[in-house]
Amino acid sequence: MGAAWRTRFEFPRDNPLYQFGVVFSADKRRPIYVGRMQPPFDWVPAETQQEGISGTFEGQNDILDVAFPNSEQRIPAKLVRVSDRHDVAMLKIDVPEAVPKVELNDNYDTIKPGDTAIVMGYPSVSPPVVGIIKSEDAFNRQPKVKLIPDPTIAVGNIGRILRSKDQPSDKDLIYSLIGDAYQLQINTTGAGNSGGPVFDDRGRVIGIFYAGSAAGGASVTFAVPIRYGKQLMSVGAASN
């Protein structure tokens, strides 16, 4: 969510770009590609190799705010670092007082199927909470209507450990198509929850919620191991 241009983008099937499209340069306001554009599968804007537009995409956040639960306040955030290894990024905010922190438990080497997983976040399927903020400003009496963050908790288990590992040269290459991830047996959350923490049974963060998949009436969700988040907080060499 902090750097959406660095992850997969899916075009809506009713998008007219499936028939014909024009791509404009945002700064020079001139077309850089005109023609039929069949959007590819697994297209990442920042990594696009499409003819005529390769290397021309870079994103920025016009508005990037952080909100805390049960508060109408919005705090401007800065995108500090983006992972080259996984779908995670680090944001930073400036606040005048200390805020509570959580413990990060990098259990990458010891986690196992069946372990408790608790997801917290804001799935879009959950009804929003709205606050009417009364104005005391004599020069602007209009009340403000704002969404009030009210997190949802979903409890389940680690269903599967998906890993990408280098194999010895005399072995066949075996790897996960989704990369390093924890498959969660939690299907009561989904879109909108990306970036939410995944806790263990002791309240320590072990992962970051980031994806879901559904087929044949069944659904699963996925989390990035917190190891990839901790790598963004280090100035040293990242471990594989």
Average predicted confidence (pLDDT) for the chain:
82
- Looking at residues 73-88, what average pLDDT do you find? 92
CATH 2.40.10.10 corresponds to the domain 103-231: yes
- Looking at residues 93-102, what average pLDDT do you find? 92
Residue ranges of domains in the chain: 4-47, 103-231
Tell me which residue of 59, 93, 61 sits closest to 74, measured CA to CA.
93
Task: Give the Å distances, CA to CA, from 228 to 107, 147, 161, 201, 222.
Answer: 12, 31, 15, 20, 14
Percent of the chain having pLDDT more than 70?
Answer: 70
Q: Which residue has the higher pLDDT, 177 or 165?
A: 177
3-state secondary structure at position 6: helix
pLDDT given for residue 21 in this prediction: 59
| Residue 240: band (very low, low, confident or very high) from pLDDT cuts 50, 70, 90 | low
DSSP characters for 164-209?
B-PPPTTS---B-TT-SEEEES--S--TT-TT-EEE-TTS-EEEEE
- Looking at residues 104-132, what average pLDDT do you find? 95
- Looking at residues 127-147, what average pLDDT do you find? 93
| Distance (Å, whole) CA 90 – CA 233 | 8
CA neighbours closer than 13 Å in the CB half-sphere of residue 225: 22
CA neighbours closer than 13 Å in the CB half-sphere of residue 219: 12
pLDDT given for residue 189 in this prediction: 86
- Looking at residues 37-51, what average pLDDT do you find? 61
| Residue 105: band (very low, low, confident or very high) from pLDDT cuts 50, 70, 90 | very high
Please say if the pLDDT value at position 211 is more than 80: yes
pLDDT given for residue 61 in this prediction: 83
| Residue 130: band (very low, low, confident or very high) from pLDDT cuts 50, 70, 90 | very high
